[in-house]
Structure 1
Amino acid sequence: MLVGAAVYLIGLWNAQMQLNEKGYYFTILMYGLFSAISLQKSVRDRLEDIPVTGLYYMLCWLSLGLAIGLLAVGLWNAAITDSEKGFYAMAFLLSLFGAIAVQKNVRDLQAAFRHEPLTQPLQS
């Protein structure tokens, strides 16, 4: 997650575009990361029978779709080269994947530490 976000932000910092465009792409990255983490959490909660309202679950999916869609529209209309567009798209998707993986691993570690280790060997 950090690699994808850092590369995206470094590219954005060095980009030859107006400040309002940089702000748009920065906001899309933050919105995308938040929505990906929120969606992963709500999906995991449902799998573990933790109550999640249907409305919140659908809003998570909608938010992630909107973040990806807004990036796609922004890049489609951007006055930058195709290689730059590909760079931003791949760094964005790498960041989203990393955010989901980090959230999953943190939750798995927390679940592992909640269980106490066996003090007696199992008998068959």
Structure 2
Amino acid sequence: MPVPSAKKEKKNTNGMLPLKPSPAFIGASWFVLIVGMVSYCIGLWNAEMQLNEKGYYFTILLFGLFSVISVQKSVRDKLEGLPVTEMYYGLSWFATIASLVLLVVGLWNADLWLSEKGFYGMSFTLSLFAAISVQKNTRDLKQFEELTN
């Protein structure tokens, strides 16, 4: 008589068991994303620049956040064997690089103190890195829940 087996371990598309991100890492990632974005926006709000300049820098932040999430998703999809067109993959990278170049060019030509330029550069970079971490954690947690239930 066969012995009832324990629940079979499910594997994801790359043959590895998913790892559940820790609550501390999830919380830290969200915290850093919020701190980076809010700091950047408060800096813009208090900046002595024209409204169109503020709009430029705010749009670059949104563009950069979207593009890095897109890169993270397409890189992860490729690693897991999911189909990703080379056009989308290339456009994701292009958009990410373009957002960085646009920020650098904007700050280079801005009439700001060097410390202000550094502040915008660092809060922008912090926000982009945190967005990647949040996206990764969200995807890992969803995959872990799907494969372990």
Equivalent positions of 1:15-30 (< 5 A) are 15-30=47-62
Structure 2: 5+ residue stretches without partners: 1-32
User: Percent of counterpart pairs with the same letter?
Assistant: 62
Q: TM-score, normalised by structure 2?
A: 0.77
CA deviations over 1:19-69 (Å, ceiling 9, x no partner): 000000000000000000000000000000010000110000000000000
Aligned residues: 117
* Aligned residues: CA RMSD: 0.7
The structural deviation recorded for 1:115 is 1.9
In structure 1, the residue matched to 2:106 is 74
1:70-96 CA distance string (max 9 Å, x none): 000000000000000000000000000
Query: Greater share of helix residues, 1 or 2?
Result: 1
TM-score by length of 1: 0.93
Gaps of 5+ in 1: 118-124
Q: Does 1:116 align with 2:116?
A: no
| Larger mean Cα displacement after TM superposition, 108-117 or 75-84 | 108-117
Correspondences of 1:77-116 after superposition (within 5 Å): 77-116=109-148
Structure number with larger C-alpha Rg: 2
Structure 2 SS opposite 1:114? helix
- Residue type of the alignment partner of 2:70: S
Letter in 2 for 1:33: L
**Counterpart position of 2:66:** 34
Residue of structure 2 equivalent to 1:53: 85
> 2: distance between equivalents of 1:114 and 1:105?
14
